[in-house]
A and B are shown apart, each in its own frame.
Chain A
């Protein structure tokens, strides 16, 4: 459940998204222009912005929001699909979804952003694991014991959770967790994944939580 602020001037589309997101359990505030937007920002978890709006356009509104609320995720939802528009949008926004979109896709991307910004006090259930996102605690449901993870292991696991369902290449993982450029042939990441699997997998020899995608990288699937 998240508080969504949605700006869309097309009535048909606005009503549809409002209905769909509400049915998925979100609390949606829908506005047809940027007017009066500021009053809602402090009570919002995520913003969905159309680009072509009467008055100030979505790009200008988005920049204004990010200036005052850096921690508020923004999804651009636009029928403008040119490279230039995407580049301009992603300059400040966290995601750029193009119309015609599928509601499932929008909902999924919303979830990803909410998780990345940790907007919800969410407990993630992952096979035999319970993950308390805000507190950074991982519990084994069967033994009801906390699984102690070292700093790097937790950091790595958290990176997977933030990008849940997304396949991450070893470069992305290494650079995301260690913050340094990955050098081909470095074994550090593999070693840490092995240790992490030994702690969280039921059977580390055939892992089910951290999947290996051959030739590409790894994935944690919800």
Chain B
């Protein structure tokens, strides 16, 4: 029950209840104000018979009949019945005196006029009493008329005469009710919008932030549910991060465990290479060295590939001066190509900033240069260029090797290029490889 009392439904029902009560109260208020407050309604008029009787008595009881006495009579009655009309027609059929009559009256009354008047007024509105003063042949007749609405109950009269007041009152009430409703829903709306905003805001983990719950109503319940959901999200994010950490650790440890024996192999082969060896022995040692290098790269690529596939490879892009970056990367690789007696051609024009992760870009370039060393040794040529066209800016790596065949993932070039592909795409760049028997051109493009 207490929960119901706190609900919005209960509040709204209370609002409507009060509104209905108010309408009733308003009528009562207007009515009572009209009756007691401002005295805007006449005194009790009394019933028609009483009026008829009294009018007859007063008119017939006149001692002298002339304009003055008639005028006095009219005045007396006017005090009692301010909305009444009265007139006197004398024995010659002339309209002598007229007081607030309700309709235009003829100045001269014939028998037909009298009869018509009599007929029209019989039992109709206004209530009409015709009385004859003494010596009626000479003094004619005196008429009293009063609108029948005067005999209505006071509230009816009020609504007729002061209807606009009630109308204004009702209008004000409706306006008040609309305003209350508006404020009521406005408050709900505000809270909902606040909740919606809270759903949009994200903390550093990309999760929504909890909201403070003040009320226990339906929206309060919603806010609580929302907070519960945020909690669950947070928990699951934490679990995910822990799993990610375990995964990284696992891969890092695996790579470590593979590399340690590899290092021992290298230690042994290096020790052997210092002995007096036959040419064949030297060749064997060289083959071991190459294999160590290859396995090392393979472990590295496998590790990166696993992380990339699971979208767990650390990605931290920022605006980088790509030409400068490329120059420094080439500077590190230059001695390697130099040692292999490559003809090196470098043509770098300023390209501006690319939004990239330097670690990723370094990885891409390492893999591509590594491929050139491994597969394009025959050509002994490498060119590293930058190019700018209307559609894109690009890095070009050109060799004169026998070409890379897509179908055969020979000597680990496959996984290396797969990583290049994933990383290039991952940074929103494009690349293509144009390879034939006379050489390979790799283009990494940033579309404009």
Stretch with Cβ within 8 A of B (4 or more), from A67-75, A115-123, A133-141, A163-171: A163-171
Please tell me if the beta carbons of B262 and A82 are within 8 angstroms of each other in the complex. Answer: no
**Assuming A79-B255, A85-B252, is B331 touching A103 (CB within 8 A)?**
no
Query: Chain B residues with Cβ under 8 A from A83's Cβ?
Result: 313-314, 359
Q: How many A-B residue pairs have CB under 8 A?
A: 93
Q: Does B23 belong to the interface (CB within 8 Å)? A: no
Interface residues on A, range: 20 to 34
Complex Cα gap A99–B350 (Å)? 36
Query: Chain B residues with Cβ under 8 A from A166's Cβ?
Result: 331
B333-364 residues with Cβ-Cβ distance < 8 A to A are 334-335, 345-348, 350, 359
Q: Does A13 belong to the interface (CB within 8 Å)? A: yes
Query: Chain B residues with Cβ under 8 A from A213's Cβ?
Result: 331, 334, 346
Stretch with Cβ within 8 A of A (4 or more), from B123-131, B175-183, B228-236, B265-273: B265-273
B264-295 residues with Cβ-Cβ distance < 8 A to A are 264-268, 270-271, 292
Please tell me if the beta carbons of B334 and A79 are within 8 angstroms of each other in the complex. Answer: no
B344-398 residues with Cβ-Cβ distance < 8 A to A are 345-348, 350, 359, 384
Complex Cα gap A78–B313 (Å)? 20
Please tell me if the beta carbons of A10 and B255 are within 8 angstroms of each other in the complex. Answer: no
Please tell me if the beta carbons of B263 and A101 are within 8 angstroms of each other in the complex. Answer: yes
A175-212 residues with Cβ-Cβ distance < 8 A to B are 184
Complex Cα gap A71–B348 (Å)? 37
Please tell me if the beta carbons of A99 and B252 are within 8 angstroms of each other in the complex. Answer: no
Please tell me if the beta carbons of B303 and A81 are within 8 angstroms of each other in the complex. Answer: yes
Please tell me if the beta carbons of A216 and B330 are within 8 angstroms of each other in the complex. Answer: yes
Q: Does A100 belong to the interface (CB within 8 Å)? A: yes
0/1 string, A66-106, CB within 8 A of B gives 1: 00000000000011111111000000000000111111000
Q: Which of A84, A102, A165, A213 has most B Cβ within 10 Å?
A: A213
Query: Chain A residues with Cβ under 8 A from B256's Cβ?
Result: 52, 78-80
**Assuming A12-B267, A81-B259, is B328 touching A169 (CB within 8 A)?**
yes
Q: Does B56 belong to the interface (CB within 8 Å)? A: no
- Which residue numbers of A lie inside 8 Å of B, CB to CB? 10, 12-13, 16, 20, 52, 78-85, 98-103, 165-169, 171-172, 184, 213-217
**Other CB < 8 Å A-B pairs besides A10-B263, A16-B267, 13 of them?**
A12-B267, A12-B268, A20-B270, A80-B255, A84-B248, A85-B252, A98-B259, A99-B263, A167-B335, A169-B328, A215-B327, A215-B347, A216-B330
